[in-house]
A and B are shown apart, each in its own frame.
Chain A
Amino acid sequence: KQEVTQIPAALSVPEGENLVLNCSFTDSAIYNLQWFRQDPGKGLTSLLLIQSSQREQTSGRLNASLDKSSGRSTLYIAASQPGDSATYLCAPSSGGSNYKLTFGKGTLLTVNP
């Protein structure tokens, strides 16, 4: 059974800081891994998708890496802004389907002006 842990659970930083969010998962037999952003009471917004054969993906100020063998992924956010404040969730897909995602509890990020 896939289990996902995200560290830290919460993070508060000043605007402009670079930061790293960590995700670990127990079953390395994954199809891909997605990072999502969730604003309070809202749905999930897809940020980055990394296929199991890839090592990293980049989109603007975001960079996600994947080390499948060690069961780890990181999300790097450069030059953080107050608008980045949200909960960040990582979700590997496994269990016989590239659409069945297992989520961690997320990291609550607050970027202070």
Chain B
Amino acid sequence: ETGVTQSPTHLIKTRGQQVTLRCSSQSGHNTVSWYQQALGQGPQFIFQYYREEENGRGNFPPRFSGLQFPNYSSELNVNALELDDSALYLCASSGTSVGELFFGEGSRLTVL
């Protein structure tokens, strides 16, 4: 039990729609990262938030955006959904200088 919770667990959208995924980080963790995992692939880094500021971004277009709230929970927003956005979206939190990340169970997004 890592304490990182994500919602929803599964959702289906159609191309062109927008989606918001949510993550509650482990208590005391002030850094949240988001990853996209396509079927059969390893997770890919989307971006990271530290104390409500974006603190690093992977190779994802601007239609992928995020927020971190004062309680360190986070949202991932994806606009203008494309078929290739179908994937498992993973949230990870960390609150120590050691750098160990703890992942949630993910949100499975299907875009039709």
Using a CB–CB cutoff of 8 Å, the interface residues on chain A facing chain B are 4, 31-32, 34, 36, 41-46, 49, 51, 89, 91, 93, 95-106
From A32, A44, A46, A95, B90 is in contact (CB under 8 Å) with A44
Mark each residue of chain B from 41 to 83: 1 if its CB lies under 8 Å from any CB of chain A, else 0.
Answer: 1111100100000011010000000000000000000000000
Interface residues in chain B, defined as those with a beta carbon under 8 Å from any beta carbon in chain A: 2, 4, 6, 31, 33, 35, 40-45, 48, 55-56, 58, 88, 90, 92, 94, 97-106, 108
A31 partner, pick from B4, B88, B99, B102, beta carbons under 8 A:
B99
A49 to B81, CA, bound (A): 35
Cβ–Cβ contact A46 & B102, under 8 A? yes
CA distance A4 to B105 in the complex (A): 23
Known pairs A34-B101, A46-B100 / 17 extra A-B pairs, C-beta < 8 Å: A32-B98, A34-B100, A42-B106, A43-B6, A43-B103, A44-B90, A46-B102, A46-B103, A49-B98, A49-B99, A49-B100, A51-B99, A98-B97, A99-B92, A99-B94, A99-B101, A100-B56
How far apart are the CA atoms of A34 and B31 in the complex, in Å? 17
Chain A nearest CB, measured from B63 CB (Å):
21
Which listed residue (B4, B35, B55, B108) contacts A97, Cβ 8 A? B55
Contacting residues, chain A, for B6 (C-beta < 8 A): 43
- Set A4, A44, A93: member contacting B103, Cβ < 8 A: A44
